[in-house]
Every structure is written in C-alpha cells, then in structure tokens.
Amino acid sequence: MQQIVNYSLHKINNEVDFGFNPQDYSSFKFGDDKIAREFGTSLAKGFIQDFLQYQQIKEQIVVISSPYSFIPTATFALKNHFVFKLNRWLADNGHAVVQETKVHRTVTYKEDYGELSAKQRLELISNDSFHIDKDFLNNKILIFLDDIKITGSHERMILNMANNYNLNNQIYMLYFAELVNDTIHPNIENYLNYFSVKSIFDLDDIISNPNFCINTRIVKYILNTATESFMVFLNNQSHAFINHLYDMAIGNGYHTIDSYAQNLNNIKKHLNLNNYKLV
C-alpha cells in the first residue's frame, strides 16, 4: 500500500526570514555547485536526524531528482550531494547505499515558473507528462527530491504519475524549503531565484567559478536575454562554455522555441567564426 511522507528542511512562513541565505539560494539556482553541496548536505543531515534514524530500513532506497529532459535542473546538483551524505550514513549503519533513477518529462517551456500564480502553474505543468521505469522501482523506498515547494503543482504531477503507474511504494517527498504560509504570493519563488542575478552580466562570476554546474535555468535565462546584451555577454565567455551552452540548448530542444532562435543562431555564427579563425 502506498505511503506518502513529506519533509522540508526550511519552512517559509514570512517574506523576510527564510532560514537560509537568499543570495546563496539564487547562486545555487544559477549553477553554483558549492552552494548545492551545502544545501544537499544539510538536507540529508536534517532528514536523517529528524526522521530517517527512527525508521527501520529494510528495502532499497531510490533517490529521484526533479523531472528534466536533457539539461538537469538545479535540484540535480543538490541531489548529488544529498546522496553523498546519505550514503555515508547508510554505509556506517550497515544499510545498502542508494540507487538512482530519473523522471522523464516530455514538454519544455520558456515561461518562468517562479513568477506564476498557483493556478497558472497547474495549467502550465498539466500540459507536461512524466515517465519513470516502474519495474526498476518494485519493492523499493522512493525519495523524490526538489529544491523548493511553493504551490505543490510539481508534487501533484509526481503523485499522479505514481498513481498512473500503480506504484505502491513508500514515497518520501523531500524539499530543501517549503512555503507554508498561503497568504504569501507564489512569486516569492522568483524573489529568491533572482536575488543575486539582476542581469546577464551577474552570471560571469558563477560561470567562471570552478564550481559551476550548468542547468536549465541559466540556459533559458541566457537565451532569453535581449540580443545586444547577449552578444556582449557571449564575447566575454570562453569557447568551451559557449560550445557547452549550445550543445545543452540543442539537446533540450530549445532551437524549436521561437523566442530562443535568434540567440541560438548568434551562438552558431560565433562558433563557426571561431572555428574558421582556428583553421
């Protein structure tokens, strides 16, 4: 019989004190793996101390990051460090280390999810569909991991998927943070997302940092920037990063989205020109 448990490390009850640094959170959302390590490790510690240490663990645990197509979300980096910390505890206590799998999604969109209302979020995400390998999950404990819960739209989609696949597993829905005050507008998420990123040029320090880890948010943000600023930004980036950016964007199908087409074409021209100079 399916059992569902929710756990969040930080409860957001007001618009001033979040329990974590908004600047760090913003950097994390745009690819700072150092912050992802801090967040993932603290979430694992909290989950173990507040819950897991009191449970009898007999089944294999499977950790599943938030759904993505080709480019991972910021949660994927947090998940890595969550797993590292959890595995150490499991090994020290004689349990099997975790397995991982992926929730596949079929739709990509340009809308900024963080600025939408609860109704708009549900309408947008309802056009998507999630898929998972049911047979791999038989008789295992499932931990679905996400960085933040605002309205619960993603959670409803995950649980709908679980019901559609007739998953009878014990399911944990884990979040680094959760909005628990329904009088606060869901666009508080965008306040956090963009706390330290006000323009494309604020990304330079994140990208040049050895801890940088590319994700969907930073790719979409770059491609959605006005062409003039985009070209200045592009000319300041390394050839390796521009190649990586282009490959990730194509892999996620962003070349099929009209609003990204011009900047993607500018990247292609830039790469072709650079290759010509090398020849």
User: Same domain, yes or no, for 223 and 96?
Assistant: no
Is the CB of residue 230 less than 8 Å from the CB of residue 200?
yes
- Integer Cα distance of 47 and 221 in angstroms: 32
Is the CB of residue 195 less than 8 Å from the CB of residue 23?
yes
- Integer Cα distance of 135 and 107 in angstroms: 24
**Among candidate residues 172, 193, 214, the one where a domain is terminated:** 193
Is the CB of residue 8 less than 8 Å from the CB of residue 175?
yes
The number of distinct structural domains making up the chain is 2
User: Same domain, yes or no, for 55 and 129?
Assistant: yes
- Integer Cα distance of 78 and 147 in angstroms: 8
pLDDT above 60: residue 159: yes
User: Same domain, yes or no, for 264 and 149?
Assistant: no
Q: What is the mean pLDDT of the chain?
A: 92
User: Same domain, yes or no, for 95 and 180?
Assistant: yes
Position 108 scores a pLDDT of 61
* Domain interval for residue 120: 3-193
Note the pTM of the prediction, 2 decimals.
Answer: 0.91
Residue 241's pLDDT band (cuts 50, 70, 90) = very high
User: Same domain, yes or no, for 189 and 63?
Assistant: yes
- Integer Cα distance of 245 and 252 in angstroms: 11
Is the CB of residue 254 less than 8 Å from the CB of residue 264?
yes
State the greatest distance between any 2 C-alpha atoms of the chain, in Å, as a whole number: 63
Sole residue written with tokens 């947090």: 78
User: Same domain, yes or no, for 134 and 227?
Assistant: no
> What pLDDT, in 10s, does the model give residues 184-211?
999 999 999 999 999 999 999 999 999 9
Position 125 scores a pLDDT of 59
**Which DSSP symbol is given to 113?**
G
User: Same domain, yes or no, for 144 and 209?
Assistant: no
> What pLDDT, in 10s, does the model give residues 96-149?
999 999 999 876 655 565 566 666 755 665 666 789 999 999 999 999 999 999
Burial 242-251 (b: 16+ CB within 10 A, else e): beebbebbee
- Integer Cα distance of 119 and 121 in angstroms: 5
Three-class DSSP category at 212: strand
Beta strands (DSSP E) in 3-65 are: 3-12, 60-64
User: Same domain, yes or no, for 84 and 55?
Assistant: yes
| CATH number of the domain encompassing residue 68 | 3.40.50
- Integer Cα distance of 261 and 147 in angstroms: 29
Sole residue written with tokens 């666009």: 187
User: Same domain, yes or no, for 189 and 219?
Assistant: no
Position 278 scores a pLDDT of 47
> What pLDDT, in 10s, does the model give residues 41-90?
999 999 999 999 988 899 999 999 999 999 999 999 999 999 999 999 99
> What pLDDT, in 10s, does the model give residues 17-45?
999 999 999 999 999 999 999 999 999 99
**Among candidate residues 175, 193, 211, the one where a domain is terminated:** 193
- Integer Cα distance of 24 and 196 in angstroms: 8
User: Same domain, yes or no, for 265 and 145?
Assistant: no
**Among candidate residues 167, 193, 219, the one where a domain is terminated:** 193
User: Same domain, yes or no, for 166 and 99?
Assistant: yes
User: Same domain, yes or no, for 181 and 206?
Assistant: no
